Structure 1
Amino acid sequence: MMLDSQETSELKNIPSIRKTGVLIVNLGTPDSPSVPDVRKYLREFLMDERVIDIPYLNRWLLINLIIAPFRAPKSAKVYKELWLPEGSPLKIYGYSVEEKLQKALGERFVVKLAMRYQSPSIESALTELRKECFTDIIVIPFFPQYASASTGSVYKLVMETIKDWEVLPELRFVNRFLDHPKFIEGFVNLGKKYMAQRKYDHVVFSYHGLPERQITKGDVTNEQCQFGSCCDVLNHRNQHCYRAQCFETTRLLAKGLGLKEGEYTTCFQSRLGKTPWIKPYTDEIIPQLTAKGVKSVLAFSPSFVADCLETTIEVGDEYKELFEENGGEHWQLVESLNDSDIWIETLVDLVENA
């Protein structure tokens, strides 16, 4: 049956009942820089079996009897250095992105911010989205490279939260976005801003580290990653390897910045404990660079999309101090994408293509 022009026009004016929820998720932050709040955050974060993947009892004893009691006071002092008058930078940027992304996407979408640990929780955000009766929900973990301890942990909690809902929405996840053109462009533009101001002897791309055993456990091909040249190319066999994804991110950024081989280094930070973590370690690379006569470094932290303790304090302050102690003269941190326009454009594209 053919519709006449008037009937077609009337159909176009019928409002669509299909709306989409968008859940954006970052790692998390303490509610305040006080010792009790930092201790609470550390306990929730480190008790995640995907973060510290050892037997439950061992993990409980390690976190509750050693790490949380002794590390919380030290971490609280660092968080106080990071804290802004409005609160945690991670949360400030998160709410700003939520507002800007909502405006950019329009009324067909409802955007909610959540943190994997602490507040606003994934459970509370999903409860709000559930009330909207959405047919589908898109989940975007704010981790450019996939890892079981980050993106995988978000997936797990989201699915555990909704598994008993009577009406289950169509659920779509953004697995990673390390090679998204706008994500790369955003960091390249930030880097070029500093490179236009002065010449740098070397560029460091420092990523959050992971225990080597987590990379090995994730190798479903059973080819046993050797943590070396196997990460030189990202392909269908190693595409889920976090280390390989980081090296691919570096290659894309280096190309955009016009860097040649030897002018940059990929390395990993934030290791914990005595077990081997993925290498090379950033704090060991720095003395090696100064020993070669490197006096100025431009430092990126491309595993984070918002500035936080690991970027501002660890890469921006602690590594700068280490660099200068070893004879370096100028260490410049490139800030994260935070709530920049190009980051919002990246997210809009990720939503529309999910």
Structure 2
Amino acid sequence: MKALFAILMQKELFYFNPEAGPLIINNMNKPSKKGVLIVNLGTPDSPSTPDVRKYLREFLSDKRVIDINPIGRWMLVNLIIAPFRAPKSAKVYQQLWEDRGSPLMFYGLDVQQALSEALGTTYEVALGMRYQQPSIASALDQLMAKNVSEILVIPLFPQYASATTGSVADKVMEIVKDWQVIPTIKFVEQFLEEPLFIQTIAEQAQPLMEKTDYDHFLFSFHGIPERQIKKASCDGYCQLGKCCDTYHAKNRYCYRAQCFHTARLVAQALQIPEEKFSVAFQSRLGKDPWIQPYADQMLKEMPAKGYKKVLAFSPSFIADCLETTVEVGDEFKEEFLEAGGEQWDLVPSLNAHPTWVKCLEEMVHKHLD
């Protein structure tokens, strides 16, 4: 009997169900795999100026990122931003680059492998980048080559925004609309309330908090233009003020409200009192108003308020990147110390933390099983 099972397994005619016992089936009835597509923003192929310019052009040409007149967007990106910003950005990318390359890329590959191992052989996990390589198209091809029955897309952005999660969904649907056969496709719209997501951030912060008695805690989120908040507002509810102090059905897609809610959840997990933490937004671009308060302005005022030792969080990013390691970790630290601060530390990103991988695993089972 064992020899028979061995032959059947070799020819893929044998399937073992731990709950029901062994089943002998043919290839037509073999349980199909389920596909998981994890997507992050993307990164240049190298920190060279030409590769950074290529990345910026693709990224900033997205109508959901710079949501203005197409002609104006083309001129802004190709005649101003890409030519003049690329050399400066390339120097910053050189600071970020490691032996394995871009952290956003190699941590993405680490998570893909760890999640694949955690889910087992009945799942196929692919990594795609919204901009540059590996592309979403190539990742979807990888999944379809395995004949998956359905696909769960997990944009790796904790809070929903049109320029991130919305852009990923837009791109996926643009690609599959021309397929002859379109499998069931599901999207994770946000995961800021996932307990293990919050727990991972807390676990990353705890070692730092055990070493230092911080005066204050700053949650710095990536900013977006105010106009994008108003476009997504339900019945004009979002007014970019106190309405973000609570999170409910009417502002569930308000990026600013989601950020405040994330900060409250992390603070609660770490037992940080309300008066000891602040929420701010970074990385604004252009002259149009972006959501406030602005992080670079807030941190300069902290030492005068007696906040000499500050621990910073970047809960809108799941992997180390320019906006975390360089902007919050280095540039903000320099500005804070120049303003009279004494100590500025940054909580590491989730990267490939085991609890974060477990969080993704739970999300997959919740949406696909």
* Fold agreement, TM-score > 0.5: yes
The amino acid that maps onto 1:146 is: Y
Structure 1: distance between partners of 2:350 and 2:274: 25
Q: Distance in 2 between matches of 1:199 and 1:128?
A: 48
> Which residue, out of 205, 229, 248, partners 1:235?
248
In structure 2, distance between residues paired with 1:32 and 1:145: 28
Pairing partner for 2:133 from 107, 119, 127: 119
Equivalent-residue separation in structure 2 for 1:166 and 1:220 (angstroms): 36
- Structure 2 Cα separation of the partners of residues 9 and 81 of structure 1: 54
Alignment of 1:47-66 (within 5 A): 47-66=61-80
Q: Which residue of 2 aligns with 1:221?
A: 235
The answer for the alignment partner of 1:106 in structure 2 is: 120
Kindly provide the amino acid, as one letter, of the partner of residue 275 in structure 1.
Answer: D
Where in structure 2 are the equivalents of 1:257-276 lying within 5 Å?
Answer: 257-276=270-289
Q: Distance in 1 between matches of 2:229 and 2:346?
A: 28
Separation in 1 of the partners of 2:233 and 2:256? 12
Provide the C-alpha distance between the structure 1 equivalents of 2:94 and 2:55, rounded to a whole number of angstroms: 15
- Residues 255, 10 of structure 1: alpha-carbon distance in 2 compared, 3 angstrom cutoff: closer
Q: 1:20 matched to which residue of 2?
A: 34
Q: Find 2:259's aligned residue among 235, 242, 246.
A: 246
Question: C-alpha displacement at 1:128, in angstroms?
Answer: 1.5
**Equivalent of 1:326 in 339, 344, 364:** 339
Give the Cα separation in 2 of the matches to 1:171 and 1:13.
30
| 1:29 Cα offset (Å) | 0.3
Give the AA of the match of 2:343: H
Give me the whole-angstrom Cα distance separating, in 2, the residues matched to 1:188 and 1:329: 23
Instruction: Measure how far apart 1:134 and its partner are.
Output: 1.4
Q: How much identity, in percent, do the aligned residues show?
A: 56
The answer to whether the aligner puts 1:67 opposite 2:81 as a matched pair is yes
Between the aligned partners of 2:252 and 2:143, the Cα distance in structure 1 is 32
SS of alignment partner, residue 249 of structure 2: coil
TM-score, normalization: structure 1?
Answer: 0.96
- 1:133 pairs, out of 147, 151, 154, with 147
Q: Which runs of 5+ in 2 are unaligned?
A: 1-18
1:144 to 134, 153, 158: 158
Which amino acid is 1:126 matched to?
L
Partner of residue 177 from structure 1, selected from 183, 191, 203: 191
Displacement after TM superposition at 1:290 (Å)? 1.3
Say which of 53, 69, 85 aligns to 1:39.
53
- Which residue matches 1:4? none
Amino acid at match of 1:123: A
Quote the offset at 1:220 in angstroms.
Answer: 3.3
Q: CA deviation at 1:17?
A: 2.4
1:30 is aligned to: 44
SS of 2:36's partner is: strand
Look up the equivalent residue of 2:157 and give its one-letter code: F
Which is worse superposed, 74-83 or 259-268? 259-268
Give CA-to-partner distance per residue, 1:158-195, whole Å, 9 cap, x none. Answer: 00100111111000111110010000001111111111
Question: Secondary structure, in 3 states, of the residue corresponding to 1:196?
Answer: helix
How far apart are 1:18 and its partner, in Å? 2.2
Cα deviation digits, residues 243-284 of structure 1 (max 9, x gap): 000000001011111111210000000000010000000001
| SS of residue in 2 equivalent to 1:353 | helix
Q: Does 1:166 align with 2:180?
A: yes
Structure 1 residue 12: deviation in Å?
3.7
Structure 1 spans left out of the alignment, 5+ residues: 1-7
2:364 equivalent to 1:351? yes
How many residue pairs were aligned? 346
**SS in structure 1 of the partner of residue 83 of structure 2:** helix
- The yes-or-no answer on 1:90 pairing with 2:91 is no
Q: Match of 1:319, as an amino acid?
A: F
Shift of 1:13: 4.4
Assess, with a 3 A threshold, how the Cα gap between structure 1 residues 71 and 12 changes in structure 2: closer, same or farther: same
Q: What's the CA shift for 1:9?
A: 6.8
Deviations 1:103-147 (A, max 9, x none): 000000010001000000001111111222211001000000000
Against the structure 1 CA distance between its residues 274 and 352, is the aligned structure 2 distance closer, same or farther, given a 3 Å change threshold? same
Q: Does the 8 A contact of 2:301 with 2:339 survive in 1?
A: no
Q: Partner letter of residue 250 of structure 2?
A: R
Q: Once the 2 structures are TM-superposed, how far is the Cα of residue 22 of structure 1 from its aligned partner?
A: 0.6
